[in-house]
Amino acid sequence: MTAVSPATKAARQEQIAGILAQAQVRSQEELAAMLADRGVRVAQATLSRDLEEMGAVRLRVPGGALIYALPGGAGGPGSRPGGVGAAEAEAVFTGTLPRVAAELLVSAEASANLVVLRTPAGGAQLLASTLDHAGWPAILGTVAGDDTVLVITRDPGGGAEVAAALLRQAERKAEERRA
């Protein structure tokens, strides 16, 4: 017997989540075709709304392609800022943030309470969103361009500490991958 999903928004979004977890999807057209293969027909406008509601982000992968990705849980990219408890914020800092930093952080420079982070083209938005959602108490907020993130720290002299911590986390995660 073949499992059949009802034609509801929740079922459609569950199918989308399943596809994005298993495949590198580069476009909404590609995602719509994969959904159609599963028997789910969807208009482009509906698919676009679903992706936005689900918090999907575009992530640059090795080779330069952009793919759709979903947040890894509370506090991840695409989740709402704030509202995460200390335990969840710590879990993000030891999970999602180091992974994203290891993939996107090119350099970090500090001056007083400001930190300038450099990323490959198109990576700044994802890194800034991850920082915003990490619930890191030392960070007041971020501003992102295409390849640069400006981080504002709460402590007037806290920039150097935040820059060093980000670089350590990125390096530690990169070393774990190599091992």
Three-class SS state of 30: helix
Q: Is the dihedral of CA 106, 108, 109, 115 positive or negative?
A: positive
Asked whether residue 59 falls in the same domain as residue 137, the answer is no
Please state the rounded mean pLDDT for residues 36-45. Answer: 92
- Output 94 or 147, whichever has higher pLDDT: 147
Q: Give how far Cα 100 sits from Cα of 4, 72, 148, Å.
A: 35, 11, 14
* Mean pLDDT (the chain, rounded): 81
Count of CB atoms within 10 A of residue 9's CB?
Answer: 12
Confidence of residue 108 (pLDDT cuts 50, 70, 90): very high
Instruction: Kindly report, residue by residue over 12-40, the tens digit of the pLDDT.
Output: 888 898 898 888 899 999 999 999 999 99
Asked whether residue 64 falls in the same domain as residue 95, the answer is no
74 in any annotated domain: no
Asked whether residue 138 falls in the same domain as residue 59, the answer is no
Asked whether residue 38 falls in the same domain as residue 92, the answer is no
CATH number of domain containing 139 = 3.30.1360.40
Judge whether residue 135 has pLDDT over 80.
no
The alpha-helical segments, DSSP class H, found in 38-155 are 44-53, 86-94, 96-104, 124-133
Spatial separation of the C-alpha atoms in residues 143 and 130, rounded to whole Å: 12
Spatial separation of the C-alpha atoms in residues 124 and 117, rounded to whole Å: 8
What share of residues in the chain are helix, strand, coil (percent, to 5)?
A: 45, 15, 35
- CA neighbor of 87 nearest in space, from 102, 74, 99, 100: 74
Please state the separation of Cα 163 from the chain's center in Å. Answer: 19
Asked whether residue 173 falls in the same domain as residue 123, the answer is yes
Among 8-12, 32-36, 167-171, the range with the most confident prediction by mean pLDDT is 32-36
Judge whether residue 163 has pLDDT over 60.
yes
Number of domains in the chain: 2
**Least confident span in 64-73, 104-113, 163-172:** 64-73
What domain range is 127 assigned to? 86-178
User: Does this model's pTM top 0.75?
Assistant: no
Asked whether residue 103 falls in the same domain as residue 168, the answer is yes
Measure the N-to-C terminal CA separation of the chain; round to a whole number of Å: 43
Q: Give how far Cα 38 sits from Cα of 22, 26, 99, Å.
A: 14, 18, 31
